């Protein structure tokens, strides 16, 4: 569950987005390709969401609106935050499918070992981290990036001059990091995206600047998180 503050500058207004990655699920801990399978939070994920909401409330974080991915793990993460900061808003109707995780098609929900056995060629192609490659029936990274940026820009336009909280997924945050750093869409993930980290990014037009990334002080005494390290999978 990563939190990112994104400041989006228009000609006469600044729209700030607070982006939250959903809390931990059992499939996170098993390092499955969750994709768009509707997996709920586990006990740790609920605790992460509770602590996040507590921190934001203690810091008197002020937000004008909230929107989240329509997948249940994002909605369950958003609920305590919404209750703490926006108790007048009903979470129903505040979802946006454009903020979903990347769609991995036939391998959504599968463990790496199963993908290697059942989709050997697709797995070999995946390890090249090519922006135009998709798992069978899934999205390419380029298609995914376009969807994410369309959703973010749409939110900025709709809520110009406001602060909006967005609850989403690790892959979505990776697309924002790559955009901010001027990185290509090919290659393994280079950013840390821990559950419940806090970051800030500023965007002016098409230029995005990272101000702060992956603060997890509010989770300091919790067990170590599962880490999905794409660099360790890279084909040399």
Give the Cα separation of 49 and 21 in Å (integer): 10
Q: What are phi and psi of 39, to 5 degrees?
A: -100, 130
CB 197, CB 51: distance < 8 Å: no
Rounded to the nearest angstrom, the gap between the alpha carbon of residue 160 and the centroid of all alpha carbons in its chain is: 22
User: Which one is catalytic: 16, 24, 101, 139?
Assistant: 101
- Map tokens 């959504």 to a residue: 108
Concerning whether 22 is annotated as a catalytic residue, the answer is yes
**Hey, which residues does 136 pair with through a beta bridge?**
none
Sheet holding 65-68, edge to edge: 65-68, 163-168, 14-21, 3-9, 198-204, 207-215
Token reading at 180: 């901010």
Concerning whether 103 is annotated as a catalytic residue, the answer is no
Token reading at 80: 């305590």
User: Which one is catalytic: 22, 145, 159, 218?
Assistant: 22
- Map tokens 């084909």 to a residue: 235
Active site residues: 22, 101
């Amino acid at each position: 569950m990563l939190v990112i503050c994104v400041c989006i500058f228009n000609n006469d207004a600044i729209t700030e987005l607070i982006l939250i990655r959903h809390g931990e699920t059992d499939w996170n801990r098993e390092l499955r390709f969750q994709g768009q399978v509707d997996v709920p939070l586990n006990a740790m994920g609920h605790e992460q969401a509770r602590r996040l909401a507590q921190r934001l409330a203690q810091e008197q974080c002020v937000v004008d609106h909230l929107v989240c991915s329509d997948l249940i793990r994002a909605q369950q993460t958003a609920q305590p935050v919404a209750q703490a900061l926006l108790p007048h808003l009903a979470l129903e109707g505040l979802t946006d499918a454009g903020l979903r995780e990347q769609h991995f098609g036939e391998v959504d929900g599968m463990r790496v070992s199963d993908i290697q056995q059942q989709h050997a060629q697709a797995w070999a192609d995946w390890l090249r981290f090519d922006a135009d490659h998709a798992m069978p029936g899934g999205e390419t990274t380029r298609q995914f990036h376009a969807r994410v940026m369309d959703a973010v820009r749409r939110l900025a336009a709709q809520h110009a001059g406001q602060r909006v909280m967005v609850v989403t997924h690790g892959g979505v945050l990776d697309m924002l990091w790559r955009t901010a750093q001027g990185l290509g869409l090919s290659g393994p993930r280079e950013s840390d995206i821990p559950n419940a980290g806090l970051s800030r990014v500023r965007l002016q037009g098409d230029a995005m600047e990272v101000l702060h990334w992956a603060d997890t002080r509010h989770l300091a005494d919790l067990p170590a998180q599962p880490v999905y390290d794409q660099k360790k999978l890279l084909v040399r």
